Structure 1
Amino acid sequence: MASDRSIRLSDIAAIAGVSLSTASKALNGGDRISEETRARVREIAERLDFQPNALARSFALGRSRTIGVLTYRAASTFAGPVLIGAVLQLGELQQASLVFDEDLLVPREITDSIRALQARRIDGLLVVGDGHERVSPSVTHHFGVPVTYAFAASDHPEDVVYLPDNEGAGRLATRHLIERGRTRIAHITGTPGSIAVRLRERGMREELKAAGLKQAGPTRFGTWAADTGADAMSELLDSGAQVDAVFCGNDHIGLGVLGACQARGLRVPDDVAVVGVDNWEGVVLDQSTRRLTTVDLELQRLGRLAAADVLAPDRTPGEHLVPPELVLGPSS
């Protein structure tokens, strides 16, 4: 056998003493061949380090082994981990990914990216959003292949959607503070129109109710920036509210709260404990510089689960929530 070319399927078939068709079935999981033949062909292929031609294999199987990925603001801080998880999962499943970035908020219009994906022979589509801020228009009806949504809420109830458990995040943060002996817990968060904001607040309130506690002052809304945390915490202290802990809607707000506490001479966590959401410090900073206890929404895992779902034989419509994890820091 010539040494200046790659091993071909015909070489494997000749050595195994079977037809080209039988060798293909043995390697690709086809039926109507004996287990003995299948094992012999696979042993020879492994021994000779046979690398099948991906294009030829896709034609033989009737699939392209390519998953389309339609993103919205793929370069954003929190969509990034979702996309990384999805691409890693697809790679482990020996699937290529074809990524297009598009405005997913355009109501039901066929965009250039949708047209490009429709023209490709994709086996499925993963739609990656930029958070649980709002409900996005479904694009499923534009495609004849399985479509799964990750980090994006769809307006169609039959769509398969993977989202972080934001209500669970509120519960987890509040439960942690209660277990630390805190009884006067305030809440400072982002824009009230955000679905994630409402769910995190609901989780917090339900956990307080279960513990027989009341929230320390009304929820204070603002932007997702540190300034919101600093200003709202100052206003809260000026109001005379008795506060021994703050659950913050995200880590940026939490860092603002830390700054306001420091400016007032309050010790964290002795006087006031603080918990955020997003694990922003874990994403962009060295762990040795961590200042906050936070709730990690497990976005990379979410991306992996959603990518695997596109290829799953049995898919369940509706929302699938990914449980968060508490990441301990010096603020609680």
Structure 2
Amino acid sequence: MADQVITLSDVAAAAGVSLSTASKALNGTDRISEATREHVRVTADRLGFRHNALARSFARGRSQTIGVLTHRASNPFTRVVLASAATELGAKERAILLYDARIDEQDVAESILQLRARRIDGVIVIGTGTSFPTPSLTSRFDVPVVYAFTFTGDPDDVIITSDDTAIGRLAVNHLLSTGRRRIAHITAEPHDHAVQRRLAGAEQVLTDAGIEWVTAPRFGRWREGWGAEAVAEVLAEAPDLDAVFCGSDAIARGVERVVRASGRDVPGDVALIGVDNWEQLMHDQRVTHHLTTIDVGLEEMGRLVAARLLEPDPRPGIQYVAPQVVTAETT
């Protein structure tokens, strides 16, 4: 037998109030005493009453649904932001409607039309990183739009993203705090926005400390193979280096492999720090933290973007999430 469905009338009868008063108490509307409101809420919880979300949406003139546009939902970085945002929205009794497509004019147009037809209450656009901008979609909707883990070219957009300049500062400060002074930098392509800002932050710290890179930064790809290739060149040019700031954890894996193969100890001879906290992203209980890295704050981004979207009038501009050092064996 199916479980009995508890109705609002059942709650009103059990609480000894009118149907109208029960509705007002549970929907937070009109002027009733806080004591009555709490009494009705306690009664509803005791009976296991759940609102009819569809009926309540019609009554409020809102769908209680948030549209989410992603560039690639399967991306590990996107998944963390999405899961965190969904948890925050669920706690506020909002559902999400996910559309996963390349966020460009051709692929996103149909998703926008479908979301608008669903009468969603707001939109979250989740990028896959801060390497390159996401086209602004705000003008295509008549509801609030908030961007996470990306940036746009529109200063009126509401954006919550990682602080790449702070990531560069934090990484080099950590290496300096362990006594390292002959530091190399291996990262991705020089025209990449994240690369540029992380480099600028790192060089601010080096300048303040009166130190220069042990050799010119190496620019290539966000790949383990590039890390291995680049550090072989660095070791030939500066065999006495004592630390490497790697632009990603993937690069750091390649760097560590070649450094160890050269007979040097990690971290005794050469300390390594990466970016992404990839080991944590994989959620593999068999993997222990090995690589010292920078956590860019993906979970916090998800929480903040959901909270900002639910504000009455989200203020425009970029809000940066503070990164954190995750110290492990390589420093």
- Pick the TM interval, shorter chain: over 0.9
Q: Provide the residue aligned with 2:125 in structure 1.
A: 127
Counterpart amino acid of 1:71?
T
- Identical amino acids, percent of aligned pairs: 49
In structure 2, which of residues 225, 235, 238 is the aligned counterpart of residue 237 of structure 1? Answer: 235
Residue 314 of structure 1 and its aligned partner are, at CA, apart by 4.4
Question: 2 CA distance for matches of 1:283 and 1:40?
Answer: 44
Instruction: Give TM-score scaled by structure 1 length.
Output: 0.94
Moved more, 14-23 or 178-187: 14-23
Q: Provide the residue aligned with 1:163 in structure 2.
A: 161
Question: 2 CA distance for matches of 1:152 and 1:4?
Answer: 45
Q: Provide the residue aligned with 1:62 in structure 2.
A: 61
Q: Provide the residue aligned with 1:32 in structure 2.
A: 31
Closer, same or farther: CA 110–259 of 1 in aligned 2, 3 Å: closer
Q: Which runs of 4+ in 1 moved over 6 A?
A: none
Moved more, 112-121 or 284-293: 284-293
Work out the number of aligned pairs and report it: 329
CA contact (8 A) 1:217 1:241 kept: no
Residue 254 of structure 1 and its aligned partner are, at CA, apart by 0.5
Instruction: Give TM-score scaled by structure 2 length.
Output: 0.94
Question: 2 CA distance for matches of 1:187 and 1:65?
Answer: 47
CA contact (8 A) 2:279 2:287 kept: no
Structure 2: gaps spanning 5 or more residues:
none
CA contact (8 A) 1:170 1:200 kept: yes
> Which SS does the other structure have where 2:190 is aligned?
coil
Counterpart amino acid of 1:45?
A
> Which SS does the other structure have where 2:294 is aligned?
strand
Residue 36 of structure 1 and its aligned partner are, at CA, apart by 3.7
Q: Provide the residue aligned with 1:195 in structure 2.
A: 193
CA contact (8 A) 1:130 1:151 kept: yes
Counterpart check, 1:146 vs 2:149: no
Q: Provide the residue aligned with 1:42 in structure 2.
A: 41
Q: Provide the residue aligned with 1:75 in structure 2.
A: 74
Residue by residue over 1:185-205, the C-alpha shift from the partner in whole angstroms, topping out at 9 and shown as x without a partner, is 110001112111111111111
Q: Provide the residue aligned with 1:302 in structure 2.
A: 301
Moved more, 176-185 or 84-93: 84-93
Closer, same or farther: CA 30–98 of 1 in aligned 2, 3 Å: same
Residue by residue over 1:226-280, the C-alpha shift from the partner in whole angstroms, topping out at 9 and shown as x without a partner, is 1111111111111246411100000011011101111211111111111000011
Moved more, 288-297 or 16-25: 16-25
Residue 22 of structure 1 and its aligned partner are, at CA, apart by 2.4
Question: 1 CA distance for matches of 2:3 and 2:272?
Answer: 65
Counterpart check, 1:209 vs 2:207: yes
CA contact (8 A) 2:215 2:237 kept: no
> Which SS does the other structure have where 1:78 is aligned?
helix
Residue 330 of structure 1 and its aligned partner are, at CA, apart by 1.0
Counterpart amino acid of 1:326?
V
Question: 2 CA distance for matches of 1:167 and 1:191?
Answer: 16
Question: 1 CA distance for matches of 2:28 and 2:308?
Answer: 21
Counterpart check, 1:325 vs 2:329: no
- CA-based RMSD of the aligned residues comes to 1.9
Question: 2 CA distance for matches of 1:303 and 1:326?
Answer: 19
Question: 1 CA distance for matches of 2:39 and 2:104?
Answer: 53
Question: 1 CA distance for matches of 2:56 and 2:182?
Answer: 63
Moved more, 241-250 or 197-206: 241-250
Closer, same or farther: CA 179–287 of 1 in aligned 2, 3 Å: farther
Counterpart amino acid of 1:291?
H
Question: 1 CA distance for matches of 2:42 and 2:266?
Answer: 62
Residue by residue over 1:209-239, the C-alpha shift from the partner in whole angstroms, topping out at 9 and shown as x without a partner, is 1222111111100011111111111111112
Moved more, 21-30 or 246-255: 21-30
